[in-house]
A = this chain, B = another copy of it.
Amino acid sequence: MKTILIKDIYRQTEKYQDQVITISGWVRTLRASKAFGFIEVNDGSFFKNLQVVFEENLDNFKEISKLTISSSIIVEGKLVLTPGAKQPFEIKATKIEVEGTSDRDYPLQKKRHTFEFLRTIAHLRPRSNTFSAVFRVRSIAAYAIHKFFQERGFVYTHTPIITGSDCEGAGEMFRVSTLDLENLPRNEEGNIDFKKDFFGKETNLTVSGQLEAESYALAFRNVYTFGPTFRAENSNTARHAAEFWMIEPEIAFADLEDDMELAEDMIKYVINYVLENAPEEMEFFNKFIDKGLLERLDNIVSSDFVRVTYTEAIEILKKADAKFEYPVEWGCDLQTEHERYLTEKVYKKPVFVMDYPKDIKAFYMRLNDDGKTVAAADLLVPGVGEIIGGSQREERIDVLEKRIEELGLNKEDYWWYLELRRFGGTKHAGFGLGFERLIMYITGMSNIRDVIPFPRTVKYAEF
């Protein structure tokens, strides 16, 4: 008999009501008396369990009564509605087959566990309510991002993970190499001879696909990346991982205003899509992880994001009746405390801060007419702070070359990036969204280690 998914039973109950059906899944809880018992079965297709009732008429009643948590079973029986009961329906089992038992030392017993402990069993934690919700939402949100961009004709571009250039300038990098550490080759000058390495040069893991994405935007107009990026930063915080996924759209014939509009539309689209497609999970987060979550998300999708210049933001922060750890002065980088004050206290909704001082932003951002600020826009959201960093890119080759020189960078390293400005350059813009930050924001989870299946952080690369 064809196995029916529990998700389909919840979503199309009429279809299966009073039918004899087969389901399969894992025992989440089991209570049994001498004459009958109840099993909560989860089959992985859905957040909620299905209740199975079994009685002593089963051949293997005794075996089933003693099943351990997480044993896998195949159940045949009739689906009956249970009006007035806690669960909407249950299966009256006529047959229960044990597919695989579970040893008594199964670490995910019913009692509550700390997230810290669950990280040590990353191979089992998606079987818990919290992590089943987190990682299904992660999947649905990832799909929403693809759907958003593909429906708008954006071309998904796989920018390289291993990079031969260190000109992205966004942080410390991991070296990728096949050199034998015990026999490092040396050149005539006595330096390590990377010509002997796999790629014939020194290579690292990418910190951003933006520069390559720009080259594709100047062919396909609208493109996006969605892939892993890396930072070898020694930051052991709840918000930093060494390996994380990033989305970087890039749009041609577009300015900073278009860029912010795209970011706002995307954020709203993804949140709406998750709310619609994972209502049970979102209710769970709202109840057990972060009480104000649904209200906050509803507020986001229904409000217009604020736009304020950096200069205005500094003025507001200077007048703020709040004690900041870091003092505020025009020219300083905004800290999380400042960002959260703006988005949580002042505006109570998402805020784009625009036109940052050029000295605290990257070389590729377009210089504004004031000569002091660049056309950058960071999106700050309540509860998190910065979630998106975007900018219009400098398309004027003379201005760009001057910035590269000012910062002491090597122009030759950027030969192809500069060529994009010589061969039909256009106004263009883009932004970067850290996918894990978005998932933390949508789920209310407060540690990045708890939204990545197998997180990689300082001194940690288990599984």
With an 8 A cutoff between CB atoms, is A48 at the interface? no
Which residue of the partner chain, among B44, B158, B221, B253, contacts A252 with CB atoms under 8 Å? B44
A100 touches B424 (CB 8 A): yes
Residue of B nearest to A173 (CB): B178
The 0/1 profile, CB within 8 Å of B marked 1, for residues 262-279 of chain A is 000000000000000000
A198 touches B220 (CB 8 A): no
**Chain B's nearest CB lies how many Å from the CB of A25?**
8
With an 8 A cutoff between CB atoms, is A16 at the interface? no
Stretch touching chain B among A148-156, A330-338, A403-411: A148-156
With an 8 A cutoff between CB atoms, is A449 at the interface? no
**Chain B's nearest CB lies how many Å from the CB of A248?**
13
A422 touches B243 (CB 8 A): no
The 0/1 profile, CB within 8 Å of B marked 1, for residues 195-217 of chain A is 00011110101000000100111
Within 8 A of B (CB), among A118-145: 121-124, 126-127, 132, 135-136, 138-140, 142-143
A178 touches B178 (CB 8 A): no
The answer for the CA separation of A199 and B419 in the assembled complex, in Å, is 38
Tell me which of A45, A203, A421 has the highest count of chain B C-beta atoms within 10 A of its own C-beta: A45
B461 touches A199 (CB 8 A): yes
B174 touches A177 (CB 8 A): yes
B177 touches A45 (CB 8 A): no
Q: Which residues of B contact A184 (CB under 8 A)?
A: 181
Residue of B nearest to A157 (CB): B453
Residue of B nearest to A154 (CB): B139
B220 touches A136 (CB 8 A): yes
With an 8 A cutoff between CB atoms, is A301 at the interface? no
**Chain B's nearest CB lies how many Å from the CB of A305?**
21
Which residue of the partner chain, among B159, B219, B423, contacts A103 with CB atoms under 8 Å? B423
The answer for the CA separation of A245 and B106 in the assembled complex, in Å, is 35
B424 touches A454 (CB 8 A): no
A156 touches B174 (CB 8 A): no
Chain A, interface residues (CB within 8 Å), range? 35 or more
Which residue of the partner chain, among B124, B140, B463, contacts A165 with CB atoms under 8 Å? B463
With an 8 A cutoff between CB atoms, is A391 at the interface? no
With an 8 A cutoff between CB atoms, is A377 at the interface? no
B200 touches A416 (CB 8 A): no
With an 8 A cutoff between CB atoms, is A163 at the interface? yes
**Chain B's nearest CB lies how many Å from the CB of A33?**
23
A135 touches B153 (CB 8 A): no
A103 touches B422 (CB 8 A): yes
The 0/1 profile, CB within 8 Å of B marked 1, for residues 87-114 of chain A is 0000000000001111100100000000
A420 touches B123 (CB 8 A): yes
B176 touches A101 (CB 8 A): no
Q: Which residues of B contact A78 (CB under 8 A)?
A: none
A45 touches B424 (CB 8 A): no
**Chain B's nearest CB lies how many Å from the CB of A177?**
5
Q: Which residues of B contact A460 (CB under 8 A)?
A: 199-200
A456 touches B199 (CB 8 A): yes
A157-B139, A160-B454, A219-B132 known; A178 vs B182 contact (CB < 8 Å):
no
Residue of B nearest to A195 (CB): B459
The answer for the CA separation of A166 and B128 in the assembled complex, in Å, is 28
Residue of B nearest to A153 (CB): B45
The 0/1 profile, CB within 8 Å of B marked 1, for residues 413-448 of chain A is 000110111111111000000000000000000000
The 0/1 profile, CB within 8 Å of B marked 1, for residues 161-178 of chain A is 111110000001011111
Q: Which residues of B contact A19 (CB under 8 A)?
A: none
Provide a sorted-by-A list of 12 A–B residue pairs whose CB atoms are within 8 angstroms. Answer: A44-B217, A44-B219, A70-B424, A99-B427, A124-B215, A126-B216, A138-B158, A158-B453, A198-B459, A203-B461, A212-B454, A227-B227
